[in-house]
Amino acid sequence: MISKEKSKYSKKFNSLIDKIREYNSGVEKDIPLIWKTYIFAKKGHANQFRLSGEPYFEHLYQTAIILTELSMDTTTICAGLLHDILEDTDYSKKTIASEFSDTIADIVEGVTKISDIKFNSQEDKQANNFRKMLLSVANDIRVIIVKFADRLNNMRTLDIMIKSKQERISLETRDIYAPLAHRLGMYKIKSEFEELSFKFLEPERYKFLQQHLHKNKKYIDKYIIEFQKTIENSLKKSNINATIIGRIKNLSSINKKMNKQNIDFDKIYDILAIRIMVDSVTNCYAVLGIIHQQFKPIAERFKDFIATQKTNGYQSVHTTVIGPEGKNVEVQIRTHEMNRIAETGIAAHWKYKESDGNINEIDNKILWLRELIDILKTDPNSSNDFMETLKIDLFKEEIFVFTPKGDLITLPQKATALDFAFAVHTEVGLSCIGSKVNSKIVTLNTMLSSGDKVEILTSKNIKPSYNWLKFVKTNRAKSRIKRWFQKNEFDESVALGKEIFEKNLRKLKMADKIKPLLARHEEMGFQTQSLLYQAIGNGKITVKELLDNYCDEEKEIKEDGIKPFNVFSRIFRSTSNGVTIQGVDNVMVNFAKCCSPIPGDDIVGYITRGKGITIHRSDCKNIPTKEEEVDRLIDVNWDKNIDYTFYSHLNILCENRNGMVSDISNVIQNMKTSIASINMKTEGPIVQGNIIIIVDNLKHTKNVIKNIKKINGIIKINRI
C-alpha cells in the first residue's frame, strides 16, 4: 500500500514523509495536505534562487526536515514549508487560510513578523527585550519553533553570505536565538546556534581551536571509547541497560571556559563528556553510584537537576569525575524521556498536537507552561481540545515597538503614538504633531502593537493640549505634559502680571514707581519678582492693593483709576441678546475668545469688573476656580430666539498633498458655510491649520466637522 502511494510523489517528498513516520504513525491521513503544501510552496518560489544558485525551495524543504527532527506536528511542518510565502510572493494571509487553514496562516504570519525584526545591539537589556518581543509576536509557540528551524538552516548555509551579513546574522543568533532556545529547553538547537555563531563571529579563534582538537582527535576518540567500555562493563555486571554516548564538548563551550577561567587550551581538562541514558529515575541514581565507585568525583561539580529540575523543564544528573590519566570527564545521567525533552525542549510537548501560546517573563512563565503540559500527561484524551483552545497570552502588559533607526522601545499595552514620542525624548513628545506607524500617517492617540515601526512628526509651532492627558498611558508622558502646563501657565501668569503691573502704573503716570515697588518684593511676601508678577497675573493681588500698601506717595488711588486687564476676557461679541440671565437685565455680555461658545454648548457666566459678564463654555480651562472667585460665576442660558451667527474655531491635521486646502474649502462652502479665516502651515508630510467658520450653532459645527472628516488624508479635526 505504502509503496503504491510513494509512486505518486517525488523522491524528495517521500524522504520527508519517511522522517515524519519515525515519530508519527498517524501521518498517512495528512499526506495529501502536506503534498498540497509542498507543491504550493514549490510553485510559489519557482523563480527564486539563493546566492548559492540552488532553488529557494531547498531552504523551505530543509526547514521542514529540521522540524521533523523536532518531532513536530503536520500543521507546523506545513507552516515551515510556507514560512516565506507572505514575505517573498504576492500571496496573502487570506489566501493561505482559505487554501490550508487559519492556524497555518497564523503561524506563517507570525514567522513573517519575526523576520521583519532587525537586531542591531549587543546590549544585554536590548537583547532581552528582543527575545521578549519575538515571543510577543508569536501567538502560537510553534511560530518560534518554525523560526528556529528557519534560522538554523540559514546558519548552516551562511558561508555564501558576505562577511558583514555573516557577522550581523551570527550576532543576532548568538544574542537572541541561542539564549531563547536555552530558555525553551531546546539544547540541541541552542548548541548548534552557539557553535555556528562562534564560527562566523570569531573565525580565527574558531580555526585555532579546531586545529588543536584535530591534532589530538585520534587520542581523544580512543580515550572516550575506552572510558565508555569501562562504564558499559560495570553496568552490565549490575544488569542495567543503558545507552552511552561519548563526545567532545563543542568549540563554543571550550572557548567560553577558556575566556572565563583565563587559561590556555592545553589547561582545559574537562572537554570530554559522556551521556548515559537509562529507563528509570532509580537507575539514574544507581548509575551515579557505580561511576563514583570507579572514579573519584569532584564534589563541587555535582548537580542534581532530577530532584530539582530547571525552570525550562531540563532534568539530568551531572557529575565530573577524574578519569584515566587524571583527565576530567563530565558525565550526564538521565532517562531516555529526559533526554528527548533536553534535546527538543518545549517542542517535545507539541509532538503532533495542536497548540497555541506565547511566553513572557521567560524563566518564570515556562514553569507555568510546563504545569499546563502536565495536564496533558494526566489526561491524554483532552490533548486535542486543550491545545486547540488554549491561548497562552503572557505579554499582555508590554508591547515592543521600533524607532526608524531600529532601536527597540518597551511600552505598556494600549500605549499610543504620543506615549512613544515621550519615550524617545521629552522634547519630541512636546513638539509632536503627528506620527507614522509602519509608514502610514496616523493620529497621536493611535494605539500601537508589538512590531510596529513608529516615526514621530514634530513642529516648532505645536503646543501640548490638555486633551493629550486623556489618552496617554505612560506615567512619563503624563508627568511631562503636566510639568509643561505648570511651567507654561507660570510663565504666562508672570508675563500677564508684568504687563498688568507696568501698564497700569504708566496709565497712572507712576512709571517711576515700577522699580522701587519691585525692589520690595520680599517685603510683600514674594521670594522673587517673578512670583510677584505671577500673583498679579493670577489675580491674587491687585495693583491697587500694592499701591495702597507699599507706595509711600500720599495719593488716593480710586478703583476706577485702574481698569481690569485680562487677556482671557477679550471681547468676542458685545450683545446680551444671545443669552438670558435670570434676574438681570441690560447687562453687557462678552463671549470669551478662549473657548468661543456657540449655541448648543453648556455655558457659564463670570462677572468681570468693568466688563459685565463673560460667557465661557462650561468645560473651558480658563474659568476661575479659586474659592474667592467662584462666587462671581452665575448661571446663564442660550436665548431660544437667537438670530445671530457665531465664530467656530477648528483645528485640522491632515496629509500634505496637492488640493487638500481646496478640498476643505469646497466642503465648507458646499454646506453654505462661510470661512472667516484660514491659516495652514506645512510640516513635512503633515499640514496643520486653524480655520474659523461662521455657524449658527453647535449642530451646524458638528455637521461641518463630520463632512470634512470624509476628505481623503484628514488625520484629525476638532473644535478648539
**Per-residue b or e along 427-464, where b marks 16 or more CB atoms closer than 10 Å to that residue's CB:** eebbbbbbbbbeeebbebbbbbbbbbbbbbbbbeebeb
Q: Which entry of 22, 87, 393, 427 is annotated as an active-site residue?
A: 87
- Active site residue: 88, 99, 279, 492, which one? 88
DSSP run (H or E) holding 555: none
Query: Hey, what's the cell of 164?
Result: 558583514
| Contacts of residue 342, Cβ cutoff 8 Å, sequence gap at least 6 | 185, 187, 314, 315, 316, 334
Distance of CA 346 to the CA centre of its chain: 24
Q: Which amino acid is at 686?
A: I
Q: Which of 492, 501, 437, 442 is nearest to 463 (CA)?
A: 492
Gap between the Cα atoms of 191 and 178, Å rounded: 7
Here the cell at position 346 is 518545549
Comparing CA positions, the residue from 598, 577, 578 lying closest to residue 703 is 598
Q: Rounded to whole angstroms, how far apart are CA atoms 176 and 308?
A: 27
Q: CA Rg, the chain, in Å?
A: 38
Q: Residue 185's closest CA among 373, 455, 53, 393?
A: 373
d(CA 148, CA 50): 19
Closest CA to 598 of 568, 625, 624, 572: 572
DSSP 301: G
All three cell numbers of 693, joined, read: 467658520
> What's the CA gap between 355 and 143, in Å, rounded?
11
- Secondary structure (DSSP) of 332-386: EEEEHHHHHHHHHGGGGGGBT-------SSHHHHHHHHHHHHHHHHH-GGGHHHH
Alpha carbon distance 600, 672 (integer Å): 19
Helical packing angle, 102-115 and 141-156, nearest 10°: 50
Report residue 650 as a C-alpha cell: 477648528
- Name the phi and psi angles at 448, rounded to 5: -95, 160
Structural contact between residues 652 and 720, judged by C-beta atoms closer than 8 angstroms: no
Grid coordinates of 610? 468693568
Reply yes or no on whether 88 is catalytic: yes
Residue keyed to cell 514674594: 526
Residue 87 among the catalytic residues? yes
Helix (H, G, I), strand (E, B) or coil at 345: helix
Cell of 92: 496573502
- Checking DSSP bridges between strand 328-335 and strand 612-617, what pairing results, if any? unpaired
Cβ(716)–Cβ(467) under 8 Å? Answer: no
In the numeric block, the cell 508590554 is attached to: 398
Burial (CB < 10 A; 0-12, 13-18, 19+), residue 396, is: exposed
Q: Output the nine-digit C-alpha cell for 559.
A: 478703583
Rounded distance between C-alpha atoms, residue 606 and residue 592, angstroms: 10
Residue corresponding to grid cell 525542549: 345
DSSP string of 165-228, one letter each residue: HHHHHHHHIIIIIHHHHHHTT-HHHHHHHHHHHHHHHSHHHHHHHHHHHHHTHHHHHHHHHHHH
CA distances 369 to 70, 184, 382, Å, are 19, 10, 16
d(C-alpha 306, C-alpha 574), whole Å = 87
- Count CB atoms within 10 A of the CB of residue 507: 14
Q: Going by C-beta distance under 8 Å and a sequence separation of 6 or more, which residues neighbour residue 549?
A: 524
First-residue to last-residue Cα distance in the chain: 78
Catalytic residues: 87-88
